[in-house]
Structure 1
Amino acid sequence: MRLNFYILLTSCFCLIVSCSKTSTKLEAALIESRENRPELEKVLDYYKSNPSDSLKYKAAVFLIENMPYHAFYEPRMEFNPVFDSIAKYPLNNNGLRIKSFVDMLRLVSESKRTIRNKLVLDIKYVKADYLIQNIELSFDSWNGIKDSKRSSFEDFCNYTLPYRSVDEPIELGMRNTLKKKYYWAYNLLQSGESLKTVVDSITSTRRLSDILRIRNYYPQPLSLSQIEKSSMGICDDLVNYYVNVFRALGLISAKDMVQHWGNHHSTGHAWIYVKYGKEEYSTDIRGRVDNKKKYDEASVPKIYRSSYSYNKKNTLFPKNIDVTNEYIPVLNINIKNKFVQSVGQPVLAVFDRNREWFPIASGSETDGSFCFNNLGLNVLYMPGSLNDRVFTPSNYPFFLDSQGKQQTFKPNNNKNIDSVEIIRKYGFSTPINRSKIKRVRALNESFFEISNSENFKNSKIIYEIKNLKSTHLQRIKIKKPIRTKYIRFNSNGNTCHLAELAFYDINGLRVKGEVVEGNVFHPFKENAVFDEDPLSYSGGTDFYIGFKFDEAISIGYVEFQARNDDNHINIGQEYELFYWDKNWNTLGVKKAQDTVLYYTVPENALLWLKNLTKGREEHVFTIDENKKQKWLGFDNDPFSILD
């Protein structure tokens, strides 16, 4: 937030200065640099003196003119031992490596030795030697590209020349380091290999891991050297790394991103865009999949491409350009301004659990209507106006379905729907991510077995999991209890995960013994299946886990739960349902007595169920003709999709 606020202030300053008769955009940047001005002027003088360097001079001017809009957070020195340690950790056990890295970050973060993030402004930080070296290396790589494949100078300035991708810390010498490290990929391109082959080769060689929870303990972008050591980061960090790699090789490269999904409670996604001649390739950090063929059915409101230059036409994201229509079908719409008296910047927002509405696209006003272009489909939008960064709705929310049909949600307060079934607070799966369905179904064909032998010789299967379609805890009564010294869950060769596992005697008392297990991985903590936490889990491929008892007992019940998101209705927890009518209005608080809640709701209402007891994942929904929840941008009736 500090970074964005600084950029906003700088934008205003540069606009004022550049509008004066005596100053240019370059002069505005030099004034902003203050004590660092001699360093930047040294770069300009270096290239101005030689006519053959005229293009390099233009490149230097481009970098300096746009430098006031860029800043970064200085790497946190107290974490250096963590990155040094993880660099020595073997790469052959990625699960344990990730766990060790997160544990080390947490220990430092929780200590009293941590310091506050320090914001560094590029315009006051970048020195002449660094900038000259960056320009020289950029031109060397760019000129090394075949004439038929070399980009235009304009694209070169925005997507090859810049000294970093977006917000990662500046580090001396990294461009040269990356060029040397990946020069083999450059040779592949020169020999005629396709761009996709080369990009996939680099991503498969690096094997970087996207670990979102890193930000819980290291709350700022990672530097390239930190990624080199850890091979981990969030997707933004890892995309920044690859963008720098491809730019070091002289290619066009940028971060493409969805700032906020239409069907996620709080976040978006970023990936790599690379161009070589007429070849283009957009892919995630693991490569292999072309993202330009991936998002047709997704809930994507906007796709932006990061750019070094400042784009004043994009008032929401001025360092990005809109490339939505390069990926997915789009639609232009006009929406009447019904609510807002004092109109600021017309914007469209998507639902966000923490902010309520997250502005995602800017528009224009014509004759009392707000006009928006290049909108993605399968998205719920809220039209509004942005004044001093405060969003005010201007009309009722509407959904653009996958065919471009528009449905507006204005509640009919004169007509209610009774006995509506509420079974979740968040959609279960989406067209591009059905992993939650697969996690449940993966348990099918697994079984529970008992034996009086440690090696389970002559074992007996007491229950086999079939047709499982629930994320809830399953309690199974054993029809014919048999005394046993050993009992275990057996995945039967499958790859799956358990969130919970428990055994009970014939009197219904929970029993425990010495843990017996094989081929099982615990990503959070040892024996997570026994901790009564539905969000932790254990599992793997062809694994088993259970108990050895001191003496034989009769098992009356087994309990198990698939790895899940815990967004179903939990007995004993409190919930509150809201509907939108110019603001969020409550329909009452209820304590769950069952795994279903029943409410009376207005017809055609947009609804939001909050869990007041715990949890953060929530999203809006409506009610269909069968009084069931209908999730906008999600799959509905998800378990039938993969049948």
Structure 2
Amino acid sequence: MMLIVGVCYNTSCAFTNNKLVESLEFAGKNRVELQKVLDHYKNDSIKLKAAIYLIENMPQHFSYIIADMDKFELYKVKSVKEGYLTHQDSIDIMLLSQSFNKIQKIYDSHVITADYLIKNIDFSFYIWTHQPWGKYLTFDDFCERILPYRIEHEPLELWKIDYYKSFNPILDSLYQGTDVVGACDVLIRYIDKEGFPNNYLMPIELPRYKASFLKEHKVGGCRESTDFITYVMRSLGIPVSVDLLYYSIGLNQAHYWNTVKDTTGNIIPFWLDKGGVFRGLNDDNIRPKRKIYRYSYKMNLESQQAIACRQDLYKIISNSMIRDVTSEYYGKNNILLDLDLDLRNGQLIYLCAFSNEGLVPQGVSLIQNRRVAFKNIGTNLLYFLAIDTKMGLKQVGYPFNFDGTKVNYYNPNINRINNIKLTRKTPLYPNTIEHLDSILGVSIEGDNLYNMSNAKLLYRITDTIRTNYNKAVLINNSKFKYIRCTPEKNKKLEFAELTFYEDCDMEKEIPYSVINASSLPEINNINDNDPLSFYQSDSINKSIIIKFENSFSIKTILFTPRNDDNFIRIGDEYELFYNDGQNWISLGKQWANSNVLFFDAPDNSVLWLRNLSRGKEENVFVYKNNVQKFLL
């Protein structure tokens, strides 16, 4: 006991000692293993602090013990590597998942050995002190970003040395510099090039996959890839963490990414398929980040003061293994809102995000004197206030935008009606723009010879494309039997749809076949009347040759670039709503006969366009300066 009393760091001796004593008592019969670790480092003060850090915070950490976990892993590999699961496979997976109802928790404190902890601590110090950027890392950062032996509830394994042996030679061969961001960058590019594929064929996933499984198979979604990256980086002394946000109704889905701490103390977010690691805050601009959390080995004591509220939100804010790091992204901020509502003191108000299934709570606070306060929230995003009722969350008050200092409410002016032009139901994200731009430079030529030796240029796509249906009217009297479509130099050819007509009114469609790419199953996508499916050539600079049954004079070409199918789709039914501060009010329905819709809508209103025929992706927007401005 003298050893425990003699330890003091970061906080008061009494608090630290009490916490350590409680952790040792929690270990029960396994206390002897933890005591061996403390005794082992009794003459090494810095490693002793690290050991105490791990032991003090250990009671909250555990593994899930799942029957037939290895069978789940085999199905996961099959689903991704082979690209399919049989109907029987899916049934078997669901039957296996019934064991989740009897899932067991095995607490680290009850099973971990002294040998395991000593190996982890010694090796963590080795990689910390042997990397050139290690000298810039504080002890607290080391404990948070390199020392931990686990991320969440994955099976307990001694993974760090194994990962180091595999990836240190790769790092040495790719990077000889001293910048931690540079080292992280080359490794991410390497991992991205090697591939980390995923699909969504598994009807149910394991709560967490083993470190050894991820190293061997390298498959999974954003959670698995960020876990794998965390194992790789920490094994090499690169200080990383896993950040996440919760979204969707029930807050039962999360999006994950990694952060690295550079030598100046800045936090740099990154993820696979970003193209590397770059200084400065990077954002995927797709998932709005109203509240950002980080996995932490250290117990988050603030979680113990979480306001008792709806279960979906409470399970997050009371989780002691994650902490709110929103202020690291947006800076510290506070928002104080006046409520022009008859609500009592002490009543809970929820800060919510929009979803097309209902409001999604992001924070909660108590009403005090007709006011409510929230701190550290994402800026330049749209928010709704709501109260919880037996029927679910009920909106109270107008939606608003918070720019970090001031609030802008969207109070619709029903006395000022605007005729608005709508072209999409979601924002035009960068990845969609990239696909639209891929069609730039495509040339379309005609000839009556298969070898295209006398080809005549009919049309070249030179204008920036920002819609789905694009019509090119030709001044052409010649007849052709063959058409060649060629991408711009060093590009692949991409089309979602390509149609030819004998007339300008597009009533006489010319049937055709592609004769030089018939072996590619995707070639049929080019004329299947589905703007979401697409054809992409298997190599750059590769043309397709189209054959008509006879020679025709082409008057019109209708083409659709690869896209997300969130433009206005001809033939679909749409309905527009505006928000009146409590509900969504319909402004009418329309069947689309072109890729543009026109509605009358109140000025300064938040609007929501729904496709009643298909699709789920929808975002709200305002109409300003004659364009849709989507609000995330």
1:205 is aligned to 2:206 = no
1:178 alignment partner in structure 2:
163
Change (3 A) 1:388 1:160: farther
State the secondary structure of the residue aligned to 1:136.
Answer: helix
One-letter code of the match for 2:513? Answer: G
Give the TM-score normalised by structure 1: 0.76
Report how many residues are paired. Answer: 577
1:579 is aligned to 2:578 = yes
State the secondary structure of the residue aligned to 2:95.
Answer: coil
Is the CA contact 1:385–1:392 (under 8 Å) kept in the aligned structure 2?
yes
More deviation, 250-259/174-183: 250-259
1:131 and 1:387 map into 2 onto residues whose CA distance is 49
1:390 and 1:600 map into 2 onto residues whose CA distance is 31
Q: Which residue, out of 40, 54, 58, partners 2:52?
A: 58
Q: Which residue, out of 257, 281, 301, partners 1:293?
A: 281
Q: Which residue, out of 520, 527, 552, partners 1:530?
A: 527
**Residue 243 of structure 1: CA displacement?**
1.2
Is the CA contact 1:516–1:548 (under 8 Å) kept in the aligned structure 2?
no
Is the CA contact 2:54–2:148 (under 8 Å) kept in the aligned structure 1?
no
2:475 alignment partner in structure 1:
479
**What is the 5 A alignment of 1:330-369?**
331-339=333-341, 340-341=343-344, 343=346, 345-354=348-357, 356-363=358-365, 365-369=367-371
**Residue 198 of structure 1: CA displacement?**
1.5
Q: Which residue, out of 417, 429, 432, partners 1:436?
A: 432
One-letter code of the match for 1:622? Answer: V
Q: Give the RMSD, CA atoms, in angstroms.
A: 4.2
1:45 and 1:593 map into 2 onto residues whose CA distance is 75
1:138 alignment partner in structure 2:
120
1:302 is aligned to 2:282 = no
**Residue 259 of structure 1: CA displacement?**
4.1
1:101 alignment partner in structure 2:
81
**Residue 107 of structure 1: CA displacement?**
6.9
One-letter code of the match for 1:582? Answer: Q
State the secondary structure of the residue aligned to 1:428.
Answer: coil
**Residue 334 of structure 1: CA displacement?**
0.3
1:241 is aligned to 2:224 = no
Unaligned runs of 5+ in 2: 1-17, 307-315
1:469 alignment partner in structure 2:
465
Q: Which residue, out of 300, 314, 324, partners 1:311?
A: 300
2:588 and 2:34 map into 1 onto residues whose CA distance is 66
One-letter code of the match for 1:350? Answer: A
2:234 and 2:81 map into 1 onto residues whose CA distance is 29
1:113 and 1:268 map into 2 onto residues whose CA distance is 22
1:597 is aligned to 2:606 = no
Deviations 1:106-142 (A, max 9, x none): 7775565653535486742658665545422331123
Is the CA contact 1:25–1:65 (under 8 Å) kept in the aligned structure 2?
no
More deviation, 563-572/148-157: 148-157
Is the CA contact 1:577–1:610 (under 8 Å) kept in the aligned structure 2?
yes
State the secondary structure of the residue aligned to 1:197.
Answer: helix
**Residue 531 of structure 1: CA displacement?**
2.5
**What is the 5 A alignment of 1:65-144?**
65-67=59-61, 77-78=70-71, 80-81=73-74, 101=81, 103-105=83-85, 110=90, 114-117=94-97, 118-119=99-100, 123-124=105-106, 126=108, 132-144=114-126
1:10 alignment partner in structure 2:
none
**Residue 544 of structure 1: CA displacement?**
2.0
2:66 and 2:280 map into 1 onto residues whose CA distance is 32
More deviation, 335-344/452-461: 335-344
Deviations 1:349-370 (A, max 9, x none): 222233x222234456543322
1:24 and 1:385 map into 2 onto residues whose CA distance is 38
Unaligned runs of 5+ in 1: 1-22, 87-99, 634-643
One-letter code of the match for 2:95? Answer: I
**What is the 5 A alignment of 1:471-510?**
471-493=467-489, 494-495=491-492, 497-505=494-502, 508-510=508-510
Change (3 A) 1:386 1:254: farther
Percentage of identical aligned residues: 23
State the secondary structure of the residue aligned to 2:162.
Answer: helix
1:407 is aligned to 2:392 = no
More deviation, 70-79/240-249: 70-79
2:562 alignment partner in structure 1:
563
State the secondary structure of the residue aligned to 1:376.
Answer: coil
2:474 and 2:262 map into 1 onto residues whose CA distance is 63
Is the CA contact 1:336–1:395 (under 8 Å) kept in the aligned structure 2?
no
1:44 alignment partner in structure 2:
34
1:18 alignment partner in structure 2:
none
Deviations 1:285-327 (A, max 9, x none): 3563336333599954333322133425354443333333333
State the secondary structure of the residue aligned to 1:563.
Answer: coil
Is the CA contact 2:93–2:204 (under 8 Å) kept in the aligned structure 1?
no
1:567 and 1:544 map into 2 onto residues whose CA distance is 28
1:158 and 1:143 map into 2 onto residues whose CA distance is 13
2:547 alignment partner in structure 1:
548
Deviations 1:156-186 (A, max 9, x none): 444334333245x325343332122223478
Is the CA contact 2:136–2:263 (under 8 Å) kept in the aligned structure 1?
yes
Q: Which residue, out of 535, 539, 549, partners 2:536?
A: 539
1:108 and 1:133 map into 2 onto residues whose CA distance is 43
Deviations 1:472-498 (A, max 9, x none): 223444432533332232213234521
**Residue 209 of structure 1: CA displacement?**
4.3
Deviations 1:380-402 (A, max 9, x none): 1123456899544443211124x
1:597 and 1:358 map into 2 onto residues whose CA distance is 29
2:175 and 2:493 map into 1 onto residues whose CA distance is 44
Change (3 A) 1:441 1:141: same
One-letter code of the match for 1:382? Answer: F
Deviations 1:386-440 (A, max 9, x none): 6899544443211124x74421022344x241433232211224xxxx2323332
2:198 and 2:433 map into 1 onto residues whose CA distance is 21
More deviation, 177-186/608-617: 177-186
Change (3 A) 1:321 1:128: closer
